[in-house]
Amino acid sequence: MSVSSPLRTLEPLNRQSVADTVFDELHSQILLLELPPGTKMSEVEVAKALGVSRQPVRDAFYRLSKLGFLSIRPQRATLVSQISQTAVLQARFIRSAIEAETVRTACTALSDEDMLALDEILQRQREAVEARDAVSFHDYDDQFHREICERSGLGFAWDIIRENKAHMDRVRFLSLAFASQDAYGDHVKVMEAIRARDEALAMQYMHEHLSRIKTQIIRIRADHERYFADESGE
């Protein structure tokens, strides 16, 4: 499958900006399944399509492989990795453990100003639900979770989550075709518990929210089996 079609030539940038922008572009297209699992990736072809040299593409490939988005096989094809159900459920476990503690901290750490900022994100999410804009909803979803971490003084927690959630992100994006309203409703409940300074309830709601993927992945895999790795031999 050619990678030239969805890729866009980039404007001239300094070297570091080129590396970051190439990474962001490929990360986005893999996440949104514009470059679906199994797509063959060539440094030469990607560099040509984006109008950049091979070095920033090589750097981006390495970073994407560390996240689990690419499978780099020396002397063989580099492929967009298939989704690992095992990795998805491991990421859910990590997120649930970390983010439950994060919202517990948020109940005492967040100011009224912080809560207003989170309310604004939820408003934008609601608008994205109404517009059936899955891409924007996903962006605001990440922003909501990240802002809770950062505004609670736990920005490092989001760094850990981000490093472990690549496989989960693709499943989350696919789930928005039928579950964006549920995700938005979960966020509202988490926010209400934080505003009430109810630590136990905030933790419960966050656990419930992140556990939805355990049932969603069954439906998603049934509809998109070709996107998933065969892990039956593990």
Quick one: 54 exposed, middle or buried, by C-beta within 10 A (0-12, 13-18, 19+)?
middle
Tokens of 219: 């439906």
**1, part of any domain:** no
**132: CB partners within 8 A, 6+ apart:** 180
The count of structural domains within the chain is: 2
187 and 152 in one domain? yes
| Alpha-carbon distances of 30 from 7, 64, 70, 77, 214, rounded to whole Å | 11, 10, 9, 17, 22
Alpha carbons 227 and 233: distance in angstroms, whole number? 17
217 and 143 in one domain? yes
**233, part of any domain:** no
Picking from 29, 64, 80, the residue at the C-terminal end of a domain is: 80
Q: Give residue 29's domain range.
A: 15-80
88: part of which helix (H) or strand (E)?
Answer: helix 85-109
Q: Is the pLDDT at 15 greater than 80, yes or no?
A: no
**8, part of any domain:** no
218 and 116 in one domain? yes
**194, part of any domain:** yes
Q: Is the pLDDT at 14 greater than 60, yes or no?
A: no
DSSP code at position 225: G
90 and 65 in one domain? no
Q: Is the pLDDT at 3 greater than 80, yes or no?
A: no
Picking from 80, 104, 133, the residue at the C-terminal end of a domain is: 80
Q: Is the pLDDT at 1 greater than 50, yes or no?
A: no
**199: CB partners within 8 A, 6+ apart:** 103, 104, 107, 108
Picking from 58, 80, 102, the residue at the C-terminal end of a domain is: 80
Average pLDDT over residues 177-181: 95
**pLDDT tens per residue, range 195-233:** 999 999 999 999 999 999 999 999 999 999 999 999 876
